[in-house]
Chains A and B, each alone.
Chain A
């Protein structure tokens, strides 16, 4: 039986998140038909963006006032209704906080097993994923009529944008949406830097930056490079920067073309977040820091001397 794949789109109400295009690429490697579900209060522009993704047959615009913000408990029963009526064999979402919140709820309601952080597909039932902070890769075989998965977006390129899917509005009127969970607000640090998850260049700092003020130096370097700024867990724990900047096992998994690890020792938990970076540059005063084992370019020295020189040279 050919696979029927449904991808749950991530978006902010107006723009489709880049993670969705990466899920489409993962779905293409499974094979079969690919549809994308967009849950929104007004799906219009996001559905139109999803319809352009290459290889997508149908975009299902699931419109409800309750979908103005992505609350997993409210979205899950609607997704489940669409999965059942469309007889899907695979339901995929991105392995971002959106997908990690929503997809297990969908899986449990479907009584389906979930494969988290899919990084490679060997067959429609066989997937590879990292465990132990990426120290081990396990290939799993799933025996179930419906498989739910989250896609490790750093492992996939975005699907091309030259498609022309049909936009449909499935009937989900009979679905009971619970009233026990209410979105209140979302606050994001305002800055003009590129988005950490999709940036081509990223500059990250560790505990060696010493303070929030220390990170100002990195912001200046990032500005010169047109880069996003990330941080190690140690720097987040120390309170230098907010958690949404964390890169690693318990933060964001990224795959930029150029990554600067500055004052980061290179704990395995951090390395798991950058293993798909094309080129890694490490600057650290400890010549034995593990980051130098994975860096393409290593520079031993005091970051407070080197970074200003870099800013000067760029």
Chain B
């Protein structure tokens, strides 16, 4: 059976502007709207399209997080994933905790890969909360398999896949043997909207919860800890000019033109 494993992360919604807690101990996210990380939603959409083209049989969606991440897994099931796995990392540490390190995330994903034996793993290129952009290549490294990051096109042809990657220079085409890890860029696809009947149907789809112990992972001491959080320095608000001529003369005055 050809399986695709998709990782999704529960993050503060794209449109929410977060703030640093007054004492600098963290980020105030309580009560904020939460969503599937946008790049992960693109990953899921791509998996669903590959399955709909007949190139895969099952789409498994996994999230590493507390019980509330089941909300995002249910949304993913409503989008069309066949089943869901929530890996609960247990109680997080105290002050300075940044959540699981990307390398730990990659280790957990590797355990799921060993269990499910997917031929494709599709992840977002970065999560919009910590902006680490590490988990995909780390999983590929631990697994000893190819990676195609920042993909804007994925084509499967038997035992191989071709990915078009959005790199700084333009578009790179990379051919990889499968299985392989892909991370998504914005233009890979436009995720579908969830329809009401699908939300009802999703309630009956299987959602399994696993602990780290069940996966055979020892909790490791955090090697990266937060010392403090602070807001960025705000730019000084400048001046208004009335027209193009005043703009040009102002810039010339400052020696900028």
Contacts and interface: CB of A to CB of B under 8 A. Distances in A.
22 contacts: A97-B167, A101-B149, A101-B150, A101-B167, A104-B135, A104-B138, A107-B103, A108-B141, A116-B133, A131-B130, A135-B231, A139-B228, A140-B98, A180-B146, A183-B172, A188-B170, A249-B131, A279-B251, A296-B239, A298-B240, A299-B247, A314-B248
Q: Which of A133, A136, A300, A313 has the most CB of B within 10 A?
A: A136
A296 B111 CA distance: 51
B140 interface: yes
A117 B131 contact: yes
Interface in B121-166: 125-126, 128-142, 144-147, 149-150, 152, 162, 165-166
B52 interface: no
B237 interface: yes
Contacts of A143: 223-225
A275 B131 contact: no
Interface in B172-226: 172-177, 180, 185-187, 223-226
Given A249-B128, A275-B235, A141 B134 contact: no
Contacts of B18: 132, 135-136
Contact of A97 (B150, B234, B238): B150
B103 A111 contact: yes
Contacts of A135: 17-19, 231-232
Interface string A116-130: 110000000010001
Contact of B138 (A108, A275, A279, A280): A108
Interface in B1-38: 12, 14, 17-20, 27
A173 interface: no
B251 A281 contact: yes
A180 B176 contact: yes
Given A108-B141, A131-B129, A101 B147 contact: yes
B245 interface: yes
Interface of A: 12, 71-73, 76, 96-98, 100-109, 111, 113-117, 126, 130-144, 178, 180-189, 197, 225, 233, 236-237, 242-244, 249-250, 252, 257-258, 268-269, 275, 279-281, 292-301, 306, 309-310, 313-314
A182 B137 CA distance: 16
B248 A252 contact: no
A242 to B, nearest CB: 7
B175 A258 contact: no
Contact of A301 (B173, B243, B257): B243
Given A104-B134, A180-B177, A97 B239 contact: no
A233 B186 contact: yes
B201 to A, nearest CB: 30
Nearest to B12: A132
B119 interface: no
A117 B130 CA distance: 11
Interface residues of B, number: 83
**B contact face: mostly helix, strand, loop, or mixed:** mixed
| Shortest 3 CB-CB contacts between residues of A and residues of B | A188-B170, A296-B238, A108-B141
Contact of A132 (B27, B133, B185, B254): B27
Given A137-B229, A185-B172, A299-B242, 14 more contacts: A73-B146, A108-B106, A114-B103, A116-B131, A141-B227, A143-B223, A244-B168, A269-B14, A280-B235, A293-B235, A294-B234, A298-B238, A299-B243, A310-B244
Given A137-B230, A243-B152, A281-B251, A257 B256 contact: yes
Contacts of A313: 244-245, 248
Contact of B232 (A97, A275, A301): A275
A92 to B, nearest CB: 15
Contacts of A298: 238-241
B91 interface: no
A265 to B, nearest CB: 13
B179 to A, nearest CB: 10
Contacts of A144: 223
Given A107-B134, A108-B137, A116-B134, A186 B243 contact: no
A108 B226 contact: no
Contact of B186 (A237, A281, A295, A310): A237
A244 B166 CA distance: 7
